Every structure is written in C-alpha cells, then in structure tokens.
Amino acid sequence: MDVFEKCHRYTDAKQVMAAGLYPYFQPIRSAQDPEVVVDGRRMIMVGSNNYLGLTSHPRIKEASIRAVERYGTGCAGSRFLNGTMDLHHEVEAQLAKFKKKEAALLFAAGYQTNLGVISALVSKDDVSIIDRWNHASIIDGCRLAFGQTLKYRHNDMEDLERILASQPDKGKLIVVDGVFSMEGDIVKLPEIVRLARKYGARVMVDDAHATGVLGKEGRGTAEHFGLEDEVDIVMGTCSKALASVGGFIASSHEVIHYVKHQARSMMFSASLPPACVATIGAAVEVIEQEPERRTQLWKNAQRMQEGLKEMGFDIGLSETPIVPVVIGDDQRAFLLGRALYEQAIFANVSVSPAVPEGRALIRTSYMATHTDAHIDRVLEGFRTVGRELGVI
C-alpha cells in the first residue's frame, strides 16, 4: 500500500469544510487581545489562553525587543551545545524562585517538556499513573517512556488508589493536569499527595493553565492548595499566562540535572530564542507585581460561569477561567461554533479526541483585559444562538 493512501482516504475535515462549519486554522490579523481582527472584521476573542492579557503589555514587549537587540533572533543550536545563553540561566533561576523549587529547566515548547521529562524519568521498571483527561502531551510522553502507563478515571481517587495499590514493587510517577484544559476543573491535589505518600509515589503537576491563574500569588495549583513542598515536579507552559512560547519544569537540583542530560526533546531541539526567554522573565515580574490582573480575571470568569448557567447552558465542571459549554453531539457543536462566529465571537469548537466521545463542547476562556462590555456582548451572543439552535 502507498504510505500516502491514508491521506487520500481522510475526509472528516473536508466534510465539515463542505458544510461551511470548519472552525480551525483561522488567520488572525491582530494581537491576541480581547478583540481580534478575523476576515476583516473585529471579533471578541474568548478562545485564547492569554489569561492575564500580557501579550500586549508594554514592559513585556520592550523586554522582547531589547533581547533581540542584544542577542539576535535565535541561538542557532541546542541547549546542550551552543544554544545556552546567560539569559536562559537567569530566567530559569527566576522560574525556580517563583515556583519555590531549587532549580528549573526551559524547553522549546510545553509539549516537548512533557515528552522529554516523562520519557526520561519513567524507565522499564517504573509506571506512569495518569488521569484519563490529561493533556495529549502527557499521554504522548508516557507513550515514549519504556515503563508501563496506567490510567485512572477522571479525578476519581478511589480508582487512583486501586492502581497505586496494585503496583507495590514499581517506581511510580503520578502525572496530572493542575487545571484540566477542556473542562476547566481543578485536580484533587490534596488527595493525590496523600495517596502518593501512602504508596511511595512521586507527583508531577502540569501547571499549564494554572501558572499565573491559581494561588494567591499566581504560583499555580500547589500554592492554591498550600502544598508547594509536597509536589515533586511542577511543569509549566510559557504560551499562556506567561505570554510567550516554551515550557519548563521546576524541581530539585538532582532531578533537573538528570533531566537536563536525559530528556531527548530538549537535548536534540533548538534552544528557545532570546526574545521568548526575555518575555517569560518579564511576564513573571508582572504576575508578581500586578495581582489586580488576577483579581479581574476571576471576576470575569465568575460572571461568565453564572451568566451561562442562568441561561440554561451546561458548563460542565468549570471552576476556573476555562468555561466550556457542553453540547454533546459533534455536529451541533460545529453549528453552535459557526453561529457564534457570525455573532463576531471567536470561541473554540472541541470534539473527539480532544474531548471524550459524545462530550463535544465550545471551549471558552477569559482574560483579565476583557471589559464588562465584552462580557455582556458574549453573554448576549450565547443567549441568541442558544435559543436559535434549541440548546437553551
């Protein structure tokens, strides 16, 4: 068989395109602000992970510009060889301090971070234990590891304990999202930490959607629960509240040293460019110095949660600025997404495999920089299309 035969047989996306409902790869012709320009018109953006609105912050843009002027546009090699600059070390120290860990390590992407860290740590005599609703990067990191992978039901601590108890002679790494990216609910970290102690497991928390968002100081899930000394590895992405791109882990000196010399996705990838690294450092400073952004973010999230529920929408398990509207059927989700688009509201349509089969949803997420007028307009748009399509 021709290896390209599968390409010719793949028609799923083309069918959605033919129906005029295809919502993906839309070119945006402006910054990731509360309003964006798409197809020559202004739309309210409720599909971005720019939670604190920092991608257009003047101080952060200036830090990026200064880094290009000093270091150029790229590092022209991997961190392992010629691609480590003093700026990388400075920002890694900053991230470690922010996350209250001994050391940190930057990767070129959040996806690469989970691939590299999990595959490096989980060897043939070990087991990864993960939530079934974890992000794809965690699942793929487990696939690359030589150890076994076991999944427990979403946020089900009895099922987690059953699995832990069944592996008495294995090294065990529990890997979990702090905030689940589709439903917007928070991991049951206190119970996970208790079970990890009981059964001799280590805990790695993916704080992609929690960094800058959860906790009094924005340090993430562990701070939110007062468990910063109990989590072994904190992973984070830099493309959300940190307004850049890349990923990192924060942990002990020994773990960072080992991963630095074993994580193939870091060792064999080009280094994160200077402008991106400088942006991350500046974003951490703003998170620490402007807590009012987080206050406004949560105010906006609460208004949307309450407003959508009052109309009769199913917002799933949301307890963060990620607020899904659960539709169930893929076709209806595409129809609702298109109707919102026509209302000049940019939201994300999520269908399987991004969500479980039969749980298609419109994923919305909010920024500190959304105004009351933006929130009012989005709520009214949802009310209009929800009634038109019989969702409410």
Gap between the Cα atoms of 247 and 108, Å rounded: 6
Cα separations (Å) of 339 from 179, 333, 346, 347? 28, 10, 10, 10
- Concerning whether 299 is annotated as a catalytic residue, the answer is no
176: β partners: 205
**Cα 293 to Cα 282: distance, rounded to the nearest angstrom:** 15
Q: Is 23 helix (H, G, I), strand (E, B) or coil?
A: coil
Peptide bond into 356 cis (omega under 30): no
Hey, what long-range contacts does 33-39 have (CB within 8 A, 24 or more apart)? 33/369, 34/367, 34/369, 34/370, 34/371, 34/374, 35/374, 36/346, 38/346
Cα separation of 385 and 367, whole Å?
Answer: 22
For this structure, is 181 an active site residue? Answer: yes
Among candidates 291, 316, 129, 296, which has minimal Cα distance to 223? 291
CB atoms inside a 10 Å sphere around CB 285 = 15
Query: One of 240, 265, 269, 370 is an active-site residue; which one?
Result: 240
Strand order in the sheet with 148-152: 103-107, 247-251, 233-237, 202-206, 171-177, 126-131, 148-152
Residue 229 exposed, middle or buried by CB count within 10 Å (0-12, 13-18, 19+): exposed
Kindly give the pairing relationship between strand 103-107 and strand 35-38.
unpaired
SS3 341: helix
Tokens of 391: 């969702």
**From CA 117, how far away is CA 244, in angstroms rounded?**
21
* Catalytic option among 181, 269, 271, 318: 181
Return the amino acid letter for 259.
Answer: V
The catalytic position among 209, 224, 370, 374 is 209
**Residue 292 burial by Cβ neighbours in a 10 Å radius (0-12, 13-18, 19+):** exposed
Q: Are 85 and 276 in contact (CB under 8 A)?
A: no
- List, by residue number, the catalytic residues: 181, 209, 240
